[in-house]
Amino acid sequence: MRILPAQAGSGIQFRRTDLDDFMVEANERNIAKVSYATSLMKKGVLISTTEHLLSACIGVGLDNAIIELDNLELPILDGSALPLVEMITRVGLRRQRRRRSYLQVLQPVEIREGDKFIAIYPADGFSVSYRIDFPPPIGVQAIEVSLMDGQYAHEIAPARTFGYVEDEKTLRDMGLIRGASEENAVILSRAGTIRNPPLRFADEFVRHKVLDLIGDLALAGRPLLGRVVADRAGHAMHTALVQRLLRDPSTARITVSPAEPADLETVPAVETGLAAGRS
């Protein structure tokens, strides 16, 4: 995978170098399979497990980039967004001569599925309130965090993905987690044990759900101005919220930042990349 600079206003785009440089834009029109991860598809070309990278882009304020891949799935690395944030930070960001635009929420949008819930409400900044309820040893965890004050890199990016060892066979039978190991996830048992300690946060699990949410909401195509509230939601509900926002013009509008009059789009100063096995 390589991250390259891109033209102002182009957003985040994926380039499949193994398929004649076919481009797949990271936007809601290309949302495809959404289950245990968020994937994009355009004309049959798939980009799998996009949420961690897109989350890192939003977290560091990267607006425009081309992500080159030689396979269908992004590297999972350590299961968090921290290595991606470090890659981008290492090469730095360059401002471009275009004002950054935001999607400003104008009225509440709420989605319920049984006891699951996700909503976004008007606000001047971007914040997330998330609650999860999993079997032991996780239980109930909740967090509220603002994403407009630089907290992302320290408070959200290091949180790793997680899974229960009892679900491993089912997921592998579905063709998922083919490269999963204790190097790229926190492995749990419903008996109450945790492998791959120590946890990076006491509430690392809900922080990772926030990480995923930020990446999924990036498919709106620009940063959001709104307050997101989620209760036991997941990738499918995250992306459904994006689609609901964009398909009803009364719910949101495109605007420049009210707080940053000189807010400009950014691009990687130079290309950066890595080589890694499949996730």
> What's the confidence (pLDDT) of residue 196?
76
* 277 domain residue, yes or no: no
> What's the confidence (pLDDT) of residue 261?
53
* 125 domain residue, yes or no: yes
* 105 domain residue, yes or no: yes
> What's the confidence (pLDDT) of residue 276?
45
CA nearest neighbour of 55 among 28, 84, 30, 75: 84
Work out the number of other CB atoms within 10 angstroms of the CB of residue 275.
8
Cis peptide before 261 (omega within 30 of 0): no
Please report, as a single letter, which amino acid is at residue 236. A
> For position 176, which CATH number holds?
3.30.1700.10
Dist. CA 177–CA 196, nearest whole Å? 17
Instruction: From the candidates 52, 154, 208, 235, give the one annotated as an active-site residue.
Output: 235
* 87 domain residue, yes or no: yes
* 182 domain residue, yes or no: yes
* 279 domain residue, yes or no: no
> What's the confidence (pLDDT) of residue 167?
65
pTM of the model: 0.92
> What's the confidence (pLDDT) of residue 278?
34
> What's the confidence (pLDDT) of residue 181?
61
**Residue ranges making up the domain that contains 79:** 2-270
> What's the confidence (pLDDT) of residue 30?
97
Provide the residue-wise pLDDT of the chain in tens; the chain has 279 residues.
999 999 999 999 999 999 999 999 999 999 997 777 899 999 999 999 999 999 999 999 999 999 999 999 899 899 999 999 999 999 999 999 899 999 999 999 999 999 999 999 999 999 999 999 998 889 999 999 998 878 899 999 999 999 877 666 565 555 555 555 667 889 888 777 787 779 999 999 999 999 999 999 999 999 999 999 999 999 999 999 999 999 999 999 999 865 555 688 998 987 777 654 333
One DSSP character per residue, the chain reads -EEEE--TT--EEEEETTTTTEEEE-SGGGEEEESSSEEEEETTEEEB--HHHHHHHHHHT---EEEEESSSB---TTSSSHHHHHHHHHH-EEEEEEE-EEEEE-S-EEEEETTEEEEEE--SSEEEEEEEEETTTTEEEEEEEESSSS-IIIIITTPPPEEEGGGHHHHHHTT--TT--TTSSEEE-TTS-EESPSPSSTTHHHHHHHHHHHHHHGGGSS-EEEEEEEES--HHHHHHHHHHHHH-TTSEEEEE-SS-TT-EEEEESS-EE------
Known catalytic residue: 52?
no
Report the number of distinct structural domains present in the chain.
1
* 278 domain residue, yes or no: no
